[in-house]
Amino acid sequence: MSGDLDREISEYAASALLRYFRRGAQVDVKQPRIDAERDRELLRAHWALSAPVRALAEYVLLHRHETQSLLISRRRVDDAVARGRIDALATTLHRLRTGTATSIVAYEPIRTFDTGPNQVLAWVVHNAALFAARFQTLQTPESAYSLLAENLANQINQIRRLDFLREALRSPAIQRRPTPGTLRDATRSRRIVYRLAVEAYNTLIGIEAGHEDAIRTVINSTLVGPLEPWRCFEIAVAMSIGEALEAILKSPLHLSLLAGDTALPILTCGPLVLYWQQATNLYQTPAMEPSEAIVKDILSNYEIGTGASRPDLLLVDASSARVVAIIEVKYLAGDNAPVRFREAVEQIVRYGRGYASGKDLFSLLGRSLVAMSAGAPDLIQPPTEGVPRAIDFSGIKKDGLHSWVGLVH
C-alpha cells in the first residue's frame, strides 16, 4: 500500500519534480500530472536524457557504419580531364564561351551522406545536444541528473564528430524540422538507426503536443524525486497549494527550480509566495516559555544548542511582508495519525509565535494548515478561533485546498 501511495504522490508532484535538481532517485510513475504548456521547455530538456535518445546514442556509437549514403552527380569543369560522364553539348558551349579548347564539362559521381534519413538523424542529434547542454546548466554537483547529463553529452559529442554526420550537420536543413518526405524515407528504412531516430523525433513532437503517452515515456525514464517519501509529499502539498492559489487568484503559477540550497520560494502566484523549509527573515525568535528555558539550560550543560527549527511550508504575502499561513506536512509511515497531528499542531503554534503575537497570532493559526498523507481528523463546526485546518492526500486530490485558499486570501 505504501508503494502505491508513494507513486501517487510522485505523480501528483511531477511538475515540481521536473525541477528537482538535488540528490534523489528515479521515481516510478504511471500517470504524471504535467502541465504541457507550462512545462514544455523542461520536458524538452528531459527528452534529451530520455530512453529513446539514450538508445539512439548508444546504437549509433556501437554501429557507426550502418548509416546509408547516396551516389549523386556533381557538375565539374576540368582541363583535359574527365572525372565522370561527359556532357558534350555543355563542353562545346563552354569552349566557345571561354576560348579554352581543352576544357571538359563532366558529371562526377560522388557519395553523400546528406540524405533524408541522415537529415532526420542529424536533426535529432543536434537538438538533443542543445537541450542536454541547457539541462546541464541547471544542474548542481549533488543533482541526481548530473552524471546522466554528462554521460549523454559525451556520447552526443562523439557522434557529432563522426564523418558520416558532419555533412548532414553542416547542411542548412539542420535548422528546420525534417520534412514529411524525409521522415517517410527514414521510417521506411530497414536500418535500425533511422527507426530509432524517428522514434526519438516522434517522442519530442508528442511531448510538445501534450500527448500523454510521449510524456509518460520521457518521465518514466528520467524523473527523479527526493530519496525520502516525506520530502516528496511536502513537494506534492506545495504543488497543490500553488494550483489552488492559481485557481482562486486567477494569476499564473510560477514554479522555481529546486537546485542546491536556496532561499528562493518554491513557487509564486500573484503577491503570494510559498517557501519550503525556510523560516525567512520574517521570523523573530520569541521569548522562551518556562519549559523551553529549562530544556535550553539542560542542553547547555552538555554544550549542545537547542537547534534551529523551520516550518515545512510558509505562505507569505510579499507585497506586505506578512506571513499568511504556516503549513505543517506529515507523511505517515506506520505512525499513529492522531500522534502526528498533535505534533504538527504543536509545531504550528511554536513557529507561529515567531511570526505574530496576541490577536495576530490567533488569526495566523486560524489560517494555517496541517496536511497529512492519511488520517486527517475532522474539524468540529463551527471551530473556535485560531484553529488550523486539516486535510489529507485524498482530500488534496479532490481539490480540497481550494476552500482553504479562499479562507487565507
- Report DSSP letters for 290-301, one per residue: HHHHHHHHHHHT
Residues 212 and 324 in one domain: no
User: Residue 71 has what pLDDT?
Assistant: 42
Q: Looking at the structure, tell me whether residues 167 and 292 fall in a common domain.
A: no
Asked whether residue 236 falls in the same domain as residue 173, the answer is no
Question: Does 142 reside within a domain?
Answer: yes
Q: What is the Cα–Cα distance from 143 to 47, expressed in whole angstroms?
A: 17
* Residue 42 predicted with pLDDT over 90: yes
List 372's β-bridge partners, or say none.
330, 392
Q: Which of 172, 207, 222 is the last residue of a domain?
A: 222
Q: Indicate whether 53 belongs to any domain.
A: yes
User: pLDDT tens across 211-229, in order?
Assistant: 999 999 999 999 999 989 9
Strand 253-255 relative to strand 103-112: parallel, antiparallel, unpaired?
A: unpaired
Question: Does residue 1 surpass a pLDDT of 50?
Answer: no
Element (H, E) at 269: strand 267-269
The model's pLDDT over 144-171, given as tens digits with 9 standing for 90+, comes to: 898 888 888 899 888 888 776 776 777 7
DSSP-derived 3-state class of residue 202? helix
Q: How far apart are CA 170 and CA 126, in angstroms?
A: 10
Q: Which of 342, 364, 340 is nearest to 352 (CA)?
A: 364
35/247 Cα distance (integer angstroms): 14
Q: pLDDT tens digit string along 276-303?
A: 999 999 999 888 888 888 888 888 887 7
Strands 70-79 and 103-112: antiparallel
- What is the reported pLDDT for 2? 66
Mark whether 317 and 253 lie in a shared domain: yes
- The count of residues in the chain is 409
DSSP codes, 166-206: HHHHHSGGGGSPPPHHHHHHHHH-S-HHHHHHHHHHHHHHH
Q: Are residues 251 and 374 in the same domain?
A: yes
Helix, strand, or coil here: 370?
strand
**Same domain assignment for residues 371 and 305:** yes
Q: What is the pLDDT of residues 382-406, one digit of tens each?
A: 888 889 999 999 999 999 999 999 8
Q: Which amino acid is at 119?
A: Q
**pLDDT confidence bin for 176, thresholds 50/70/90:** confident
| N-terminal to C-terminal alpha carbon distance within the chain | 36
**202 occurs within a structural domain:** yes
| Nearest alpha carbon to residue 162 among 109, 127, 117, 118 | 118
On whether both 107 and 145 belong to a single domain, the answer is no
260 and 143, same domain (yes or no)? no
Whether residues 211 and 240 share a domain: the answer is: no
When divided into structural domains, the chain yields a total of: 3
Please say if the pLDDT value at position 305 is more than 90: no
- Specify the pLDDT at position 70: 42
Coil, strand, or helix at residue 392?
strand
Same domain, 181 and 308: no
In a domain, 6, yes or no: no
Residues 121 and 89 in one domain: no
Specify if 11 maps to a domain. Answer: no
Domain end marker among 170, 205, 222: 222
| Inside any domain, residue 207 | yes
Looking up cell 511536502, which residue turns up? Answer: 234
Local structure of residue 344 (DSSP, 8 states): H
Spell 36-53 as b/e; 16+ CB within 10 A means b: eeebeebbbbbbbbbebb
The arithmetic mean of pLDDT across residues 185-213, rounded, is 92
At residue 326, φ and ψ (nearest 5 deg) are -110, 130
Residues 58 and 162 in one domain: yes
| Residue ranges making up the domain that contains 235 | 229-408
pLDDT tens string 328-386: 999 998 778 999 999 999 999 999 999 999 899 999 999 999 999 999 999 888 888 88
